[in-house]
Amino acid sequence: MVNKQFLPICMNDLKERNISQLDFIIITGDAYIDHPSFGSAIIGRTLEREGFTVGIIAQPDWEGIEDFRKLGMPKFAFIINSGNIDSMVNHYTAAKKKRHTDLYSPGGESGHRPDRAVIVYCNRAREAFKNVPIVIGGIEASLRRFAHYDYWSNKVRRSLLIDAKADLLLYGMGEKTIVEMANLFKYGMSIEKMTSIRGSVYATKDISDLKDYVEVPSFETVSTDKLAYAESYKLQSLEQDDIRGKTVVQKHNDRYVVQNAPQISLTQAEMDITYGLPYTRTYHPIYEAKGGIPAIKEVEFSITSHRGCFGSCSFCALTFHQGRVIQNRSQKSIIDEATVLTTLKNFKGYIHDIGGPTANFRHRACKIQEKVGVCRDKQCMFPTPCKNLIIDHTEYLDLLRKVRVIPNIKKVFIRSGIRYDYLIYDKNTDFFEELCEHHISGQLKVAPEHISDKVLDQMGKSKQEVFDRFVKKYTETNKKLDKDQFLVPYFMSSHPGCDLAESIKLSEYINEMGYTPEQVQDFYPTPGSLSTTIFYTGINPFTNEKVYVPTEQKEKNMQRALMQFKNPENYSIVREALVKAHREDLIGSDKKSLIPSRPSKANNHPKYQGKKHSKFRSPNAESNHVSETAPRTFTKPSLKEASKPDFKTTPKHSTKRASNLSPRKRQR
């Protein structure tokens, strides 16, 4: 059974534990959920295991400083994060509209954390206790560790270390880093001298002692020169490997921001320890009156099997945070956790997920990575799989087989996302068949994102033909198993490289499918991703090619509407887009047209009804539900090459694979 004692959150908790002063106090923008999907819980439990006392101040009132004093002054430092998500992403949609809910707050209420939470919390903590060291971490700090383009202010901002006036920034997944730092405090070292910790960033006026480092263009340069910004991003990204990576330096006025080399990856034994710590696995009972914290529902009965991703999609900042190298847990550790889940009071017999950023990436991409790190000059999957890539689902399948026979487990689902391109290249079809037979809850989510090679090249995604092969195989496999299961297509609009012509190609593809996306994700430029750099500069820093970038909101609205052309409410803007692109041939009554010649007030016009004879269908084709945080995007097979499988829209309530809002991403 799990330990039912939470980390201290108030003075009464300290008295009960006979603690006169805490070693560390974690300040976080999320409500306190003591579960291994949440960074504050992992860091707190990790420090506790090492013998340090730790308290949590969750979602403090930032209008004053009283909440920042509620646990007294920490002996060593405040550790501050914005929560599992960047606070600006948490607050605003891709259209910069205010969100009305917050899954990481009591009852899903918004307004429990400030914009740019790390900066605000640091200021208040400094006011509360002037001389206490401040350490920042989590996703907001990790992805903003260098000068970065800030979408919400539409300018380049300084390193968050400088803006927050913190003493030290920890980036990446921080268990080893936080323990090393904590032990240095225990041994009496001042934070000013902590300049050699891997996985950390510090500021200094003197770099004369540094050796073998890479200096990138300064903040002053990249804030005014987009070519320099693109070059800076490229140089930074090349050093984010724990074996090959060097120290990276960026000047900010009269100081230097120094990123030490990335922290050494966790071993399997260390991963097992992290996920075996005594979490209560739920939210603190103080939130019960408001109905709890919605974010726990997505992960309560899910299991993290690994971290990292070698897929390297351009729009995903995960490689800048977790890295390209897979770090996994042992089968025993995962089986033990699954067994624990069966003892929880709300368990109904279903494991919702066993996976990670990409479910079927369980091991390092190749043997070379184990010795010399990831390649600097090529990707593992793009544009085609590397010849050294190990494509093998055998161990993952063996794990799934073992978990699904545990007493009281009825079903084990995979919901964290399958890389279909990796799967389709596996010559052994056992995993594919058992995936369809045992591990899909009626629908499988995959994310080809687009169908235009021009756009896919900028996304770092496989060609359409690869997806066509997958859909054909998926259809054949389900037919063989006598299964009636859907594919959930995810599409993305307004990504760099996508103009109206490419958007219309995608719409024609959707029309051929007879499918209406219920959720559409607009590209969201967030710190740390290659796509954001292209968005800001108009240049792909790895190819030096100029890239078209849709920046005007009107065009973004057109691209999104084109993907939901069957919605009568979108008629005018879809027509305007087609006329602007000189594609009036798609206005009319034939089956290739997207919209009728005249608008229809009713949804019963033939152009707004899917192809009733087709197996491609949407259960709610007339819906205009648009999610700015929906999963990425997804396309269909070539109808000439594959019989049509069932396509289904994502339920309106779904938050799964919401790239920036899902706790499954382990953003810390």
Locate the domains of the chain by residue range: 11-207+250-259, 301-441, 446-668
Q: Which residues contact 266 (CB under 8 A, 6 or more apart)?
A: 173, 175, 176, 274, 307, 327
* pLDDT for the residue numbered 560: 95
What's the pLDDT at 607?
55
Q: Is the pLDDT of residue 464 over 90?
A: yes
The type of residue at 641 is E
pLDDT (tens digit, 9 = 90+) per residue, 553-605?
Answer: 999 999 999 999 999 999 999 999 999 999 999 999 999 999 999 887 655 55
| Per-residue DSSP letter, 586 | G
Q: Domain 11-207+250-259: which CATH class?
A: alpha beta
Alpha carbon distance 434, 4 (integer Å): 37
313 is annotated as contributing to ligand binding: yes
Confidence (pLDDT) at 545 = 96
Label residue 619 by pLDDT band (50, 70, 90): very low
Cα separation, 493 vs 503, in Å, equals 7
Residue 249 has φ and ψ, to the nearest 5°, of: -125, 135
Q: What is the pLDDT of residue 513?
A: 81
> Is it the case that residue 653 has pLDDT exceeding 60?
no
3-state secondary structure of 597: coil
Check: CB of residue 71 under 8 Å from CB of residue 57.
Answer: yes
Sequence-ordered list of residues with C-beta below 8 angstroms from that of 505, at least 6 positions apart, any chain: 451, 452
Tokens of 51: 């013998």
| Digit-coded pLDDT (tens) for 371-386 | 899 999 899 999 999 9
Residue 10 known to bind ligand:
no
Dihedral sign for Cα atoms in the order 309, 312, 317, 323: positive
Cα separation, 456 vs 57, in Å, equals 43
Q: How confident is the model at residue 47 (pLDDT cuts 50, 70, 90)?
A: very high
Sheet strands (E) in 43-115 = 54-58, 77-81
Angle 500-513/571-580 helices, nearest 10 degrees? Answer: 130
- The CATH class for the domain spanning 301-441 reads alpha beta
What average pLDDT does the segment 533-552 reach? 97
Instruction: Please state, in angstroms and rounded to a whole number, the distance separating the CA atoms of residues 603 and 608.
Output: 6
Alpha-helical regions (H) of 514-586: 530-537, 553-563, 571-580
Q: What value does the mean pLDDT take over residues 254-275?
A: 97
Answer for the pair 268, 329: CB distance below 8 angstroms, yes or no.
yes
Segment 114-141 shows an average pLDDT of 98
Average pLDDT value over all residues in the chain: 90
Nearest CA-CA partner of 88 in 532, 548, 596: 532
Residue 498, annotated as binding a ligand: no
| Of 112-126, 299-313, 513-527, the least confident | 513-527
Q: Classify residue 335 by burial, with Cβ atoms within 10 Å: 0-12, 13-18, 19+.
A: middle
Spatial distance between the Cα atoms of 560 and 493, rounded to a whole number of angstroms: 6
**Percent of the chain's residues with pLDDT above 70:** 89
Whether the predicted pLDDT of 49 surpasses 90: yes
| Cβ pair 185, 139 in contact under 8 A | no
Cα–Cα distance measured from residue 283 to residue 297, given in angstroms and rounded to the nearest whole number: 11
What are the residues facing 351 on neighbouring strands? 412
All residues at 6 or more sequence positions from 345 whose CB lies less than 8 Å from its CB, including other chains: none
**Which of these ranges, 310-319, 373-382, 602-611, 612-621, has the smallest mean pLDDT?**
612-621
The answer on pLDDT for 462 being more than 80 is yes
Q: Higher-confidence residue: 220 or 666?
A: 220
Angle at the Cα of 570 (from 564 to 572), degrees rounded to 5?
140
Alpha-carbon distance of 305 to 312, in angstroms, equals: 19
Q: Closest Cα partner for 245 from 376, 68, 392?
A: 376
Task: Give me the CATH topology for the region 446-668.
Answer: Transcription Regulator spoIIAA (3.30.750)
pLDDT over 80 (residue 614): no
Largest CA distance in the chain: 78
Nearest-angstrom CA–CA distance, 195 and 212: 15
Consecutive H or E run containing 402: helix 394-403
pLDDT, tens only, 655-664:
333 333 444 4
* 294 vs 109: CA distance, rounded Å: 10
**What was the pLDDT predicted at 184?**
98
* Gap between the Cα atoms of 17 and 633, Å rounded: 49
Report in angstroms the alpha-carbon separations of 92 from 85, 147, 264, 509, 525: 12, 21, 34, 30, 12
| Res 606: pLDDT | 55
Residue 642 to residue 420: CA distance in whole angstroms = 16
Check if 301-441 and 446-668 are the same fold.
yes
The pair of structure tokens assigned to 56 is 């949590």
* 3-state SS, residue 259: strand
pLDDT of 612 reads 39
C-alpha 553/C-alpha 555 separation (Å) is 5
- Please return the burial class of 72, using the count of CB atoms within 10 Å of its CB with bins 0-12, 13-18 and 19+: middle
**Alpha helix (H) residue ranges in 448-498:** 453-459, 464-480
Instruction: Give me the pLDDT at residue 548, please.
Output: 98
pLDDT at position 623 over 70 = no
**What average pLDDT does the segment 284-305 reach?**
96
Phi-psi region of 665 (alpha: psi -120 to 50; beta: other; left: phi over 0): alpha
Among 265-279, 550-564, 602-616, the minimum mean pLDDT is found in 602-616
Rounded Cα gap, residues 195 and 174, in angstroms: 16
Q: pLDDT above 90 covers what percent of the chain?
A: 83
Q: Indicate the pTM of the whole model.
A: 0.90
DSSP label of 67 = G
- Secondary structure (H, E, C), 331-391: HHHHHHHHHHHCCCCCCCCEECEEECCCCCCCCCCCHHHHHHCCCCCCCCCCCCCCCCCCC
**Residue, of 668 and 508, whose pLDDT is higher:** 508
Instruction: Give dist(CA 423, CA 361) in Å, integer.
Output: 10
Pick left, alpha or beta for residue 14 (phi over 0 → left; psi -120 to 50 → alpha; otherwise beta): alpha
Mention every residue, 6+ apart, whose C-beta is less than 8 A from residue 329: 268, 271, 272, 275, 304, 305, 306
Return the SS3 of 47.
helix
